[in-house]
Amino acid sequence: MIEISRDQFALILPLASEWAEAKEKVVLKNGDPLSNSQIEDAKRVGVIHPERVRIFKVPQIPFPKHPVLISAVEATQLITPSTVGLTLRYGIFIHSDFIDDRCLIVHELVHTSQYEKLGGFLPFLRKYLLQLINIGYPDAPMEQEAIKIAEKICKE
């Protein structure tokens, strides 16, 4: 369990949402649309708008620069040098070494579906970050859901 007070969380959440929205725009501008098979996978995991999703191949997953977010990311281990995928609603960053990893992309698409179901950045990040803080990564229920669905689909 990570020690983050309610006041700290109230400061982190809007900053995290602002950062995530800005990074999603980068992916939407520079990323590639899903292939036909990826669209099928997206539909299978419950993505409502797979046509909006873009995947951006990067040499390293971006890390926030704001000091408050740096501390939060380090505490939660949400992004580390070994992170290979990060979903920010319809924008998915994938490390270039893993761009052909179907199971990773399916996992990230589950997070896109979670964003849609929860209604956007703030509701998703509120729930997801609280799970990371209170339970930890990768045991957080939203993370476990993505792991289990990806494993199921990739076994078929």
- pTM comes to 0.95
pLDDT of residue 98: 97
Report d(CA 33, CA 31) in Å as an integer.
7
Check pLDDT > 90 for residue 64.
Answer: yes
pLDDT of residue 148: 97
Longest dimension (CA), the chain: 45
Report d(CA 84, CA 3) in Å as an integer.
26
Query: What does the mean pLDDT of the chain come to?
Result: 94
Distances (CA, A) of 48 to 43, 53, 58, 113, 134: 7, 10, 25, 7, 29
Q: What is the pLDDT of residues 32-51, one digit of tens each?
A: 999 999 999 999 999 999 99
Share of the chain above pLDDT 70, in %: 99
Q: What is the pLDDT of residues 70-121, one digit of tens each?
A: 988 888 788 989 999 999 999 999 999 999 999 999 999 999 999 999 999 9
pLDDT of residue 71: 86
Check pLDDT > 70 for residue 1.
Answer: no
